[in-house]
Structure 1
Amino acid sequence: MAATKLFDTGFVVVILPALENLEILRSEFADLQVDAVLHGPPDRVDVKRLRERQGLTQEEFATEFGLDLSTLRNWEQGRSEPDTATRTLLRTIAAHPAAVHAALKRQD
């Protein structure tokens, strides 16, 4: 089924239970002219740097993206780390802040 979807749409997501070597997988897929890309949250996020690149204060960043201010401060001061889902959100904010802002402001 995945191969059919790949050839029909040019895109497919495959979840692998374990991956020992991404480069070997990419090499094997390259023979089929398929690019293998690993997706997932980053191991760490420099929250303070991300916020500063947005030109926002802690209060503004927390309000803008629906984050708890005290939690944001804890991340920035190294007292705690964002969980997996939050690291994914932060990566998305870094890449597309306007899209995240728009999505959070929508009233469906």
Structure 2
Amino acid sequence: MTSAFDDIMEGLAQAARHAAGEEVPGLVVHVPAKLDVAAIREKTNLSQPAFARSIGVQTATLRQWEQGRRDPTGPARVLLALVDKRPGIVGEVLGAPAAKRRA
């Protein structure tokens, strides 16, 4: 029988392997079926152009997502889900300078 500490340490080791791009058997990454991109951007207090730059997409693409004409796919969905949970994550991880915030 393993201790809670051992279980936690194993989970951290798996997370580190996943973050390094390694395959982690049994790992399931949950991304909601529908993302409210406008609400996610609102949490960051960034304008559309600033938010689009921060996540590496064209402003027109972001507008399409916010208006429901298109849905983000693949890595964009995962990134948006992360930003939804932790709005400052892009700046924290990439050390990006403060973007222009909405007035």
For the aligned pair, the TM-score class normalised by the smaller chain equals 0.5 to 0.7
Matched residue, 1:90: 80
Say which of 3, 26, 43 aligns to 1:15: 26
Residues 16-55 of structure 1 mapped to structure 2, 5 A cutoff: 39-55=29-45
CA spacing shift, 1:53–1:7, aligned 2, 3 Å? closer
Say which of 45, 62, 72 aligns to 1:72: 62
CA spacing shift, 1:52–1:97, aligned 2, 3 Å? closer
The CA distance in 2 between the partners of 1:104 and 1:77, in whole Å, is 28
CA spacing shift, 1:59–1:39, aligned 2, 3 Å? same
Percent of aligned positions that are identical: 33
The CA distance in 2 between the partners of 1:41 and 1:100, in whole Å, is 17
TM-score normalised by the chain length of structure 1: 0.59
Number of residue pairs the alignment of both structures matches: 82
The CA distance in 2 between the partners of 1:94 and 1:8, in whole Å, is 29
Residues 62-85 of structure 1, C-alpha deviation per residue, up to 9 Å, x if partnerless? 122322211101101111101132
Pairwise CA RMSD: 2.8
Contact 1:42–1:91 (8 Å) recurs in 2: yes
Cα shift at 1:7: 6.7
- Unaligned residue ranges in structure 1 (runs of 5+): 17-37
Letter in 1 for 2:94: L
Letter in 1 for 2:6: T
- Unaligned residue ranges in structure 2 (runs of 5+): 15-24, 97-103
TM-score normalised by the chain length of structure 2: 0.61
The CA distance in 2 between the partners of 1:7 and 1:94, in whole Å, is 29
